[in-house]
Amino acid sequence: MNLYEIGIDSPVVCQQCVERYCINDCSNEALSIGSQGEILVNMDVCSLCSNCEEACPIGAIQLFNDEVFVCNLCSGDPECIKACTEGALSLEFRKENVSLSEFENTSVKLTPSQKRYEYIRKQGIELRKTWRENRA
């Protein structure tokens, strides 16, 4: 997600939230939790109903060309981390899953792209403040 007008270029990936909105709304039980907390998609069972896409309050899961896209942490060896030439990305496991309940009500009826925009916009407030303080 790029919000260049306010100085943010950030990926929006699955936060492995405590609510598990996508799993709870999957009518075919096509989604499961992997050994590292990542969301796994069984495309043999998935009906492409888009319930998971609609349920995720931050737009981290999306249907495109008959596929479900959600970050699965590349089985514990994320390609994005290896590709980042600045060393700005890392994989850190939390002791507790994060709650996304604050985004649940505001994301109703938004597209995945709009949800990602709102998530980064809200998350970016503190990031921008810290960045500006460090540049002063």
The answer to whether the CB of 56 falls within 8 A of the CB of 112 is yes
The percent of residues in the chain predicted with pLDDT above 90, rounded, is 35
> Given a cut of 90, is residue 74 above it in pLDDT?
no
Record the tokens describing residue 88, joined without a space.
Answer: 């700005």
Per-residue confidence (pLDDT) for residue 119, from 0 to 100: 87
Q: How far apart (Å, rounded) are the C-alpha atoms in residues 20 and 9?
A: 26
Q: What is the CATH number of the domain that holds 116?
A: 3.30.70.20
* Average pLDDT estimate for 74-78: 82
What Rg value do the Cα atoms of the chain yield, rounded?
Answer: 16
**What is the domain extent for residue 32?**
2-135
> Given a cut of 50, is residue 33 above it in pLDDT?
yes
Per-residue confidence (pLDDT) for residue 10, from 0 to 100: 65
* Average pLDDT estimate for 77-92: 84
Record the tokens describing residue 39, joined without a space.
Answer: 């969301």
* Per-residue confidence band for 21, with pLDDT thresholds at 50, 70 and 90: very high
Q: How far apart (Å, rounded) are the C-alpha atoms in residues 5 and 98?
A: 28
Record the tokens describing residue 102, joined without a space.
Answer: 């604050």
The percent of residues in the chain predicted with pLDDT above 70, rounded, is 90
> Given a cut of 90, is residue 122 above it in pLDDT?
no
For residue 57, give Cα distances in angstroms to 66, 73, 122, 124.
21, 19, 13, 16
Exposed / middle / buried, residue 129 (Cβ in 10 Å: 0-12, 13-18, 19+): exposed
Q: How many domains is the chain partitioned into structurally?
A: 1
> Given a cut of 70, is residue 85 above it in pLDDT?
yes
The answer to whether the CB of 103 falls within 8 A of the CB of 58 is yes
CA dihedral of residues 34, 37, 40, 45 (deg, nearest 10): 80
